[in-house]
Amino acid sequence: MVEDRRRHILSLALILVVSLTFSLFCIHYYRSQDDTAGGESPHETAIERESPDESEETDDQYLFGLKDIDAEVISSLIEELGDEDLDVWKRAEEELIEIGEPAVPLLIDALDSDNTRIRIKTINVLGEIGDPRAVGPIIDLLKSESPLIRARASIALGELKDTKAVKPLIDVLLDDEESWVRSEAAKALGEIGDPRALEPLVQALKDEDPWVRDKARDAMMMIDGIEP
């Protein structure tokens, strides 16, 4: 009876020793594999070698997309500028501004649209983009029959800040029949900051409309920093 118990204990001890030996062997083996791979498993190392740099790929795709905007996409966005839904035309306006220079030629073409809403929003977008190619076409709009078009053109020219617009804006300031258009011309002249506008702005201080007089005074301050 005692002998049987002793044999049973010896068997358990032998099993335990074998298990411990096997475990130590496994630990030593996998550590040697990790050292060979530089602290990483062979599978992980291979995957990392084959994977491209995702950030570089994303940047390349982004730049490629901006340079190669489809003309149909731009034309579609311009059409959406004429939508009566605020969310639609506002989104189109923001996307066209984001596209920027590649959209300018088609936006300039849209200045001749029969849709007044498209024309007005297009002027706004061109003013925000700030491309000098838009200066001449927008100056031409200062002679539009629509006072709203003339006012929006004045605002955009102030944003573009091109001195070629000074003389045409002076003509609007002194001669336009709508006082609110004259006031926008005065503001635009101040934003451009050309000293040639000072004398006409002094004349505008005698304008019959107080709003025009205030804008002329503000413009003179912007140009020479001296309150008239």
Q: Where are the alpha helices (DSSP H) in 68-115?
A: 71-80, 86-99, 104-110
Look at residue 175 and tell me whether its pLDDT is greater than 50: yes
What is the average pLDDT value for the chain, to the nearest integer?
81
Contact 188, 155 (CB under 8 A): yes
Look at residue 43 and tell me whether its pLDDT is greater than 70: no
The pLDDT-based confidence of 225 (bands split at 50, 70, 90) is confident
Over residues 36-61, mean pLDDT = 40
Residue 126's pLDDT is 98
User: Percent of the chain, pLDDT > 90?
Assistant: 67
Q: What is the pLDDT of residues 132-159, one digit of tens each?
A: 999 999 999 999 999 999 999 999 999 9
Domains and CATH numbers, the chain: 61-129 (1.25.10), 131-228 (1.25.10.10)
